[in-house]
Structure 1
Amino acid sequence: MKLRIAILGTRGIPNYYGGFEHISEYVSEGLVKRGHSVTVYNSHNHPYQEDSWNGVEIRHCYDPEYMVGAAGQFAYDFNCLLDARKRNFDVVMIMGYTSSSVWGKLYPPKSTIITNMDGLEWKRSKYSKPVQQFLRYAEKLAVKYSQFYISDSLIIKSYLGEKYNIESKYIPYGADLFSEEEREQVDHREALKEDYFLLMARMEPENNIETILEGFNNSNSHRKFKVLGSTDNRFGKFITHKFKNDERIEFKGSIYNTGKVRALQNNSYLYFHGHSVGGTNPSLLEAMASEALIAAHNNPFNQSVLHTDAFYFSNANEVRNLVETVQRKEPEKIMVNNNLRKIKYQFNWERIIDQYEAFIIECHKNKNHERVIVD
C-alpha cells in the first residue's frame, strides 16, 4: 500500500532546530524510499528554500514567529493545516501538540490523523504556571482530535494509557552508528583524547546544566569541561556569568556540524546528559552511538534507555563524585559497548522507519476508528 503522507508540526527539514525536525528528516526520506509520497511542511523562514528534498515534497507556509515570538507558532500551524485540508492526504502525521491541537477541529476530516505526543511539555520548568496549564489543555485536545498516537518513550506510553485510557504506539528516535569519517572531525590540537568532560543541551533549567557545572566547579579535576549549546537566552547568560571564573569550563556555543559534535562525544572522558523531561532524547542516542561513556540525570526517561549502562546523578555532589572518581577501564568499556549494541538492534534508523511505515499503514486501514473524545 502506497500512501500520500503529510508531516506537520515542525519548523521543517532538513533539520536546523531540534528533535521533531530530526526525526521528520529521517522518517520522511525513509518513507519516500519505500515508495510513499511524502510532504513535509516548512516555515517560510527555513534556511532550505527548495520545493523538494531527497524526494520529499516541501510545502512552505507563512510563519510569523520571527516577528511576534512564540505566539507565531499558532499562526504557522493554522496556515499549515489550511493548506493540508486542500490536498487530500491519506495520512496526516502531527509532530507534537503545543501549538497545533487548538486547531483540532480543522484537522483534515478525510485524512487519518496520527499525533506524536511529544514529552510531557507541561512539566518543563521554563514555562510559567499559566503556560503549563495551557499545555495540559493542549495535550487533552491532541488526544481528543487525533485518531492514533505515537509515544517516543515507554514512560510517555504508560502515562497516556493511565491518564487518558488510550493505546499509543511506542516508536523511539534512532541514531546512526559512528563513522570513521566523523572520528576525524576533532582537531586534536584543541581536544586531546579523553582530556575533557562534555555536555550538549539547550540552555534550559530542566536540563540540569547548573547542577552539572556546579558539581564540576566544586571538583579538583584538572580536565576541561566543554559545554555545547547557544547561551544567548536568559538562562544561558546566567550560566555563563555564574561560572565565568572557572577557566576549566569552556562555553563553545552551538555546533551544527553533526560529525564534529559526534567526534567530540566519542573523544570525551565522560559525557553528561542532564535532560529530565521528555521522551527518548536524540542527543542521548547520538552519544550512545558515538561510543561515549555517559553520566545521566537519574530519572525514568533516561533509565528506560540506558538501564545499567551509565552512571547516574541527582545533585551537584553526585556530579562532583563522578568527576573525581570515574575511570576508563574494562567495566566502563562494557557499558559503552552495551549502549552501542542498543543502537545497532533497537534504535537504528532503518528499524525505526520500518516501524513508522507499518504503523501508518495499519492506522490508515483502520481509519474509521472513532476518535477518542475526552470529557
Structure 2
Amino acid sequence: MKKNRLLILGTRGIPGKHGGFETFAERLALYLVDRGWNVTVYCQADSKKFPGAEVYYSVWQGINLVHIPVPKNNSLWSILFDLKAVLHAINREGIVLTLGYNTAIFSLLYRLRKRVNITNMDGMEWWRKKWNFLEKAWLYTNERCAIWFSDCLIADHPHIKHYLRQEIKTSKPIVVIPYSAQIVTQADKKLLNKYNLVSRKYLLVIARPEPENSILEIVKAFSKRQRNLPLVILGNYSPENSYHREVLQFASEEVMFLGAIYNQEIVESLRYYARLYVHGHQVGGTNPSLIEALSAGSPVLAHGNSFNSWVAGEGAAYFKDEVDCDQQLTQILNNEVNLATMKQSSLARYYEEFADDRDLKAHEDLFLKQLGKKLDNKANQAEPIKLVETKSKSIN
C-alpha cells in the first residue's frame, strides 16, 4: 500500500532547537511517521560544515531530512534557503505544509504545478515591532501571497481566523488548530541544582529576546524592588544587541540569565517547579511555550491581549505595562492561596482546549481531507465514461 506523503517547509529544521515551529514540526513528523506516513522535513544547514554541497540527505527517527546549506544564519540567507527548499519540494510527491508565510511568494510555484499547499498563518507577523518599514512591507505582501496561493489556511488561534475573515476578507478555507502539549505530571527536581534553584522559589520567562515579547518591561517591573527570589530568563542575550543590552542594564541582581537551553528535560523541570510563569508576548497566536506552561500547571501572569487571554483563560493574571506588571507581581508572589488557584486554573484550561496532542490528529484529518479532494479532482478530470445506448425489448 502506497504511503501518504507530507513535506514540511518553513522551519530551520528538526530536531527542534530554535522555536515553536521547529518543536511543532518535530512533534507532527514523529506522530505521522508512527501512523505510517512518509514525512520529509527541510532543514537549514551551515555551508561551512558542508563546503560545496548543494543539498544532502539524512534520516532521523524515520523522518526524511533534506539539508540545504546556506553561508549565514540571517534573514536574507533564510529567504534563499526557503526558495531552494520550494524548488526542491515541487519535484517531490506529497502534500506541502508551509509553516509561516514569510516567503509565501514562492508558493506561486505550487499553484503553477497544481500541488496541494496548506499554510499555517502564524499570527500577524508584519505587526511586530522589530521589523523596519521594508521588512514589514515584505511580510505584508507575503501574507497576501499565502492567502492567494494556498489551498487551505491554518490559524492557530480564533482571533487569527477572525482577522483573516473580517479584515482581509478572504473566502479561502480556514481551519483553526491551536497547538497542544503533553501533560506534565512530574519532573526531575534534581535538575534545578545545576542552577542553584529551589522548587516554587523562582519565576520563569521563556521567550525570544525581542521587544514585542515584553522582556524589558518584565525585567524593569521585577527589578523595581527586592523580591527575595530570582527571575529566571531563558534565551541568548548579547551586549552587542541594543535591546539585549538595555534588558541586561535594567536587570537587578535577582535576575538570572541562563542562556538558551535546548535540553527538553531541563526546560520541563524549570516549568514544572516555577512559582510563576511570566508570558509577555504581545503579538501572535497560540504560543506553544504558554501551552506548555499550562500543561505543567504553572500559574500564569501574561501580557493582557486577546491572544493570551483566550489561551490562558480567566484564571490567569494579566498586565498592561511595566507599572501594572510590578503591581501584579507584588500581589501574586506572596499569596499562596491565589497561586494554588491559578495553578488549578492553568490545568483546567489545558484540559479544556490543549490536551492529548489533539492538534496532531486535527492536522492529519485535514491532510486526509485534502488528499480526498485531490483524488476527487483527478476523477472529475478523467475521461468521461461513454454510455452505450441500448434499446429495451418490450415483453408482450
What TM-score results when the alignment is normalised by the length of structure 1? Answer: 0.90
CA positional deviation for 1:235: 1.6
Which residue of structure 2 lines up, in the alignment, with residue 372 of structure 1? none
Q: Distance in 1 between matches of 2:202 and 2:98?
A: 39
Contact 1:221–1:323 (8 Å) recurs in 2: no
Contact 2:157–2:286 (8 Å) recurs in 1: yes
Task: Choose 337-346 or 35-44, whichever is displaced more.
Answer: 337-346
Determine which structure has greater relative contact order: mean sequence separation of CA pairs < 8 Å that are 6+ residues apart, divided by chain length.
1
CA positional deviation for 1:271: 1.4
Contact 1:15–1:21 (8 Å) recurs in 2: yes
CA positional deviation for 1:135: 0.9
1:62 to 61, 66, 69: 69
Q: Distance in 2 between matches of 1:212 and 1:280?
A: 20
Contact 2:271–2:298 (8 Å) recurs in 1: yes
CA positional deviation for 1:50: 6.6
Q: How does 1:71-150 map to 2 (within 5 A)?
A: 71-89=76-94, 91-99=95-103, 101-107=104-110, 109-150=113-154
Which residue of structure 2 lines up, in the alignment, with residue 348 of structure 1? 355
Contact 2:101–2:122 (8 Å) recurs in 1: yes
Which residue of structure 1 lines up, in the alignment, with residue 393 of structure 2? none
Residue type of the alignment partner of 1:242? F
Q: How does 1:47-58 map to 2 (within 5 A)?
A: 51-58=58-65
**Structure 1 unaligned runs (5+)?**
370-375
Which residue of structure 2 lines up, in the alignment, with residue 315 of structure 1? 321
Q: 1:147 to 1:249 in 2, by over 3 A?
A: same
SS in 1 for 2:315: coil
SS in 2 for 1:107: helix
Contact 1:219–1:324 (8 Å) recurs in 2: no
1:172 to 159, 173, 178: 178
Q: Distance in 2 between matches of 1:261 and 1:192?
A: 15
Quick check: which has more Rg, 1 or 2? Answer: 2
Which residue of structure 2 lines up, in the alignment, with residue 19 of structure 1? 20
Which residue of structure 2 lines up, in the alignment, with residue 298 of structure 1? 304
Task: Choose 234-243 or 128-137, whichever is displaced more.
Answer: 234-243
Task: Choose 8-17 or 322-331, whichever is displaced more.
Answer: 322-331
Question: After superposition, what is the alpha-carbon deviation per residue over 1:101-159, rounded to whole angstroms, capped at 9, x for unaligned?
Answer: 12122226242110011111011100012211221111001111111110111111111
Which residue of structure 1 lines up, in the alignment, with residue 247 of structure 2? 239
1:362 to 358, 364, 369: 369
Contact 1:273–1:294 (8 Å) recurs in 2: yes
Q: Distance in 1 between matches of 2:156 and 2:21?
A: 11
Q: Distance in 2 between matches of 1:348 and 1:51?
A: 32
Aligned residues: 362
Residue type of the alignment partner of 2:368? I
What TM-score results when the alignment is normalised by the length of structure 2? Answer: 0.86
CA positional deviation for 1:364: 2.2
Which residue of structure 1 lines up, in the alignment, with residue 163 of structure 2? 159
CA positional deviation for 1:30: 0.6
CA positional deviation for 1:9: 1.0
Q: How does 1:198-237 map to 2 (within 5 A)?
A: 198-232=204-238, 233-237=241-245
Q: 1:345 to 1:32 in 2, by over 3 A?
A: farther
Question: After superposition, what is the alpha-carbon deviation per residue over 1:59-117, rounded to whole angstroms, capped at 9, x for unaligned?
Answer: 11233443xx311111111111111121122x111111102x12122226242110011
CA positional deviation for 1:333: 2.2
Q: Distance in 1 between matches of 2:187 and 2:327?
A: 34
Q: Distance in 2 between matches of 1:191 and 1:218?
A: 22
Task: Choose 220-229 or 331-340, whichever is displaced more.
Answer: 331-340
Contact 2:216–2:246 (8 Å) recurs in 1: no
CA positional deviation for 1:44: 2.6
SS in 2 for 1:226: strand
Q: Distance in 2 between matches of 1:295 and 1:55?
A: 39
**Structure 2 unaligned runs (5+)?**
50-55, 378-396
Which residue of structure 1 lines up, in the alignment, with residue 339 of structure 2? 332
Which residue of structure 2 lines up, in the alignment, with residue 193 of structure 1? 199
Contact 1:118–1:279 (8 Å) recurs in 2: yes
CA RMSD of aligned residues (A): 2.2
Q: 1:242 to 1:181 in 2, by over 3 A?
A: closer
SS in 2 for 1:44: strand
Contact 1:8–1:94 (8 Å) recurs in 2: yes
Q: Distance in 1 between matches of 2:163 and 2:117?
A: 21
CA positional deviation for 1:36: 1.3
SS in 1 for 2:232: strand
SS in 2 for 1:138: helix
Q: Distance in 1 between matches of 2:45 and 2:219?
A: 38
CA positional deviation for 1:237: 2.1
Question: After superposition, what is the alpha-carbon deviation per residue over 1:170-214, rounded to whole angstroms, capped at 9, x for unaligned?
Answer: 111121221534444221881122222221211100011111111
Q: Distance in 2 between matches of 1:85 and 1:95?
A: 16
